[in-house]
Amino acid sequence: MQTQTEHQAGANWLAALDAEARALVAAVDAQPDARRMLEGTLDAEGYIHYLVQTYHYARWSTALLGEAGHRLRRLGRHPELAELLVQKGEEERGHDLWLLSDLKNLGWSQEQVEAAAKSPAVDAYTGWNFFTSRAGVPTAVLGTAYVLEYLSQTRAGRWAERMQAAAAIPNIHKSVTFLRSHGALDGDHVAEMVRILGKLTDPEDQEAILFSARVARSVYPRIFREGGASSRPLAA
């Protein structure tokens, strides 16, 4: 049974996590290319940059989440969160293939995508999350997942709709599978996380989850081209 004080601390903690998620949406909206996605006017080069960088981190999602879940199990801590991490890892399986398919319909082969340079934001994201998953506090990955799924429920479906409506990119209707699917799925995923994380009272895990949410909020917006179309492309 939770005491009144514990209940309040838990509610405050979830509110702080939610604030990070909303701050991420605001930081993404402030990126020129993300703003153009919301208006539907992003050019093919900017959208391809976004999809390629997304591929370079999303391809690791199943491993990041699954390994964190299995390690948490081995440590004998928070069985429900270990279950949630493994389940989320499975949910992410194959999402990298949606990205490859969207990119193929925009004229990019898998070889080109694999050879493309990763942005520093992607390296920071994968480096940090592999660290927490394999050697840090494994529940931390849930902070990353929470803010990114919140962003996805708020923006992914809308980005897809607006870009299709404006049709500024040739073949765009065949190239929004990743965005459309996430817009449809991640509302439920966020609700499920709120339900399960609402029961977490361990301050160390709360802090770790919140810290990872902050890292994702700082790092993720930089996967877009810096300054939008005026930026120097990352060399392949």
Point out which span in 24-32, 41-49, 183-191, 224-232 binds Fe ion (CB under 5 A): 183-191
Applying CB under 5 A, does 189 fall inside the site for Fe ion?
yes
Listed ranges 25-33, 46-54, 133-141, 184-192: which one lies at the site for Fe ion (CB under 5 A): 184-192
CA dist., res. 214 & res. 202, Å (int): 19
Q: How far is the CB of 186 from Fe ion (least distance, A)?
A: 5
Per CB under 5 A, the list member of 20, 67, 92, 205 interacting with Fe ion is: 92
Compute CA 164 distance to the chain's CA centroid, rounded to the nearest angstrom.
22
Binding Fe ion by CB under 5 A: which of 33, 102, 186, 205?
Answer: 186
Least CB distance from residue 92 to Fe ion, whole Å?
5
Q: How far is the CB of 153 from Fe ion (least distance, A)?
A: 9
Residue 161 tokens, joined: 């709709």
Cβ closest to Fe ion, residue 33 vs residue 92: 92
* Separation between Cα atoms, residue 168 and residue 160, nearest integer Å: 12
Q: Are 101 and 173 in contact (CB under 8 A)?
A: no
Encoded one letter per residue, x for contact with Fe ion by CB under 5 A and - for no contact, window 95-134 reads x---------------------------------------
Give yes or no for residue 56 binding Fe ion (CB under 5 A): no
Interface residues toward Fe ion, by CB under 5 A? 92, 95, 149, 186, 189
